[in-house]
Structure 1
């Protein structure tokens, strides 16, 4: 039997340095005002701050699989993986990443332990979310576990609420439809018992239309297990009853970062199954403010004031998964 610790984190604008030779001319024009003053020192300091949190996950061993968003390129991901490895010599992460069509150049990626998972050739997919314009793709990786099982994992960073939650909702509705479609396609291609995990910053709450109506997610495990159409079980609903969220806006907690699984992961005796009670919002000492509203302490940058003692404007989330024959 193998136990896996899975985590997700929106790492808040992890960009390369201001004059990076790894940045396209188009992107440099788009972000030129915001990136001003973002030195290699600040970039590397932010990476160290993030690595200090990642290294505390799984009781100080680091997660087995980590999904991240708001990263600019492979270079910063490699530096992040190296920074974690420096703190945890037993952790040497491999990376799944590709540049997407996002207007700000921020991507979704995975860091994973290659001793536990491999990525077979041709099993990484970038699903375009298109309404009037492209945004971050939904990244699907069909991992192969060391027990030889296919595990489809979807990394999500849905369109933001910029311009207003209602005004921008249609974009997230399309993202929900895209996730639901490729969930079903995965089961058709790999078999109805294929375990699927979707995780990410959905920029909506578990009760919003994009997740409930379009992504076909629900708070009820039984409904997922008995459904004729493939549905998803949103594991974050119990967190709705606590006073804290994963992201704060005007001192109001929002539960935007979520884990969602399908029926083959929801069954208590499935070969690869989730432990719903293990879901946590990770609030390590020093990563949240100490006032009346314990929000994440952001690092800033990209046009915002830099706090060199900060980390990210989102908290990470984690859960445990068990695989057995």
Structure 2
């Protein structure tokens, strides 16, 4: 056995993001639009299907970055979780219960009842503060259109201060052009949060992750990068046959991780960026048929497929000297 190789791997750490496609419990919530996700709905969201989803998502999470680090990811940002209960069920599920995971979650005003969340290895990361930033838009009739909060988690990763911002920006469901202004507004809100962090903490180390519902080349992301000086390692990963989610036979890379350039600094006892990638292992893909190679989903419309998610996770690997 090459012990030097093993030793080098243990110094590397994975930060990941995963949109896990509607992790709802099976109980009706009168405050949200979750009527599809209960045992008597058309989708027949039963306890058996729920537990299968937990097991599969847990297995996927446990393996993100394992090839590079030989261990489970230290940080995972999530999108599309219903509440604290499903997060408790997830971190105590079959493939995650052995790890010292804890989480940060706030209920948002999103009408579908889906939130972002932050899972962390409590032996590597200590939360010192957390906050959420809520914003909404006006629909054509003047009513409020609530979206997911931006979650800020600040803490010490192996003693080093880092700020994480978890996002899930407004979707393209009614059309890209028709909804672009919402994602630009979300980008502007995020930029304000980052600017405030930088004003208060010189040389702050900031990691931004999320499902942005925009590609790296779209205006909302380009503005974020240009105005806040962030580096986006995902820019080069999107191609005609690779991305994180697929629609109408075309790939998109809506799931991204960006960070401040100080993660390139080579200093003793500080985290340094190594690489970023899409975690698109074969078991996460549709194995056959028209959609072969695309994410193996839990549902397609109302039809149960029993897969993982309609998104692949993304991750970055860092090392500490």
Normalization by structure 2: what TM-score?
0.86
8 A contact 2:116–2:167 mirrored in 1: yes
- Once residues 234 and 101 of structure 1 are traced to their aligned partners in structure 2, the CA distance between those partners, rounded to angstroms, is 29
What's the counterpart of residue 173 of structure 2? 162
- Once residues 312 and 230 of structure 1 are traced to their aligned partners in structure 2, the CA distance between those partners, rounded to angstroms, is 31
SS of the equivalent of 2:175 reads coil
Give 1:245-264 correspondences, 5 Å limit: 245-264=243-262
- Once residues 237 and 265 of structure 1 are traced to their aligned partners in structure 2, the CA distance between those partners, rounded to angstroms, is 17
Shift of 1:33: 4.5
What's the counterpart of residue 283 of structure 2? 286
1:318 matched to 2:315? The reply is yes
Q: Which moved more, 1:196-205 or 1:280-289?
A: 280-289
Shift of 1:78: 0.9
Shift of 1:288: 0.7
What's the counterpart of residue 82 of structure 2? 72
The correspondence for 2:47, drawn from 40, 47, 60, is: 40
- Once residues 93 and 156 of structure 1 are traced to their aligned partners in structure 2, the CA distance between those partners, rounded to angstroms, is 20
Shift of 1:284: 1.8
8 A contact 2:133–2:151 mirrored in 1: yes
8 A contact 2:286–2:296 mirrored in 1: yes
Normalization by structure 1: what TM-score?
0.85
What's the counterpart of residue 152 of structure 2? 140
With over 3 angstroms needed to count, the CA separation of the structure-2 counterparts of 1:3 and 1:304, relative to structure 1, is same
1:113-163, CA deviations, whole angstroms, 9 ceiling, x for partnerless residues?
01001112xx1111113322321011010121232x210011111000011
- Once residues 230 and 207 of structure 1 are traced to their aligned partners in structure 2, the CA distance between those partners, rounded to angstroms, is 16
- Once residues 79 and 62 of structure 1 are traced to their aligned partners in structure 2, the CA distance between those partners, rounded to angstroms, is 18
Give 1:122-271 correspondences, 5 Å limit: 123-132=129-138, 133-147=145-159, 149-189=160-200, 191-213=201-223, 215=224, 217=225, 230-241=228-239, 243-269=241-267, 271=270
SS of the equivalent of 2:106 reads coil
- Once residues 260 and 151 of structure 1 are traced to their aligned partners in structure 2, the CA distance between those partners, rounded to angstroms, is 13
- Once residues 322 and 90 of structure 1 are traced to their aligned partners in structure 2, the CA distance between those partners, rounded to angstroms, is 23
- Once residues 244 and 113 of structure 1 are traced to their aligned partners in structure 2, the CA distance between those partners, rounded to angstroms, is 30
Shift of 1:179: 1.1
What's the counterpart of residue 141 of structure 2? none
Unaligned runs of 5+ in 1: 219-228
Q: Which moved more, 1:138-147 or 1:9-18?
A: 138-147
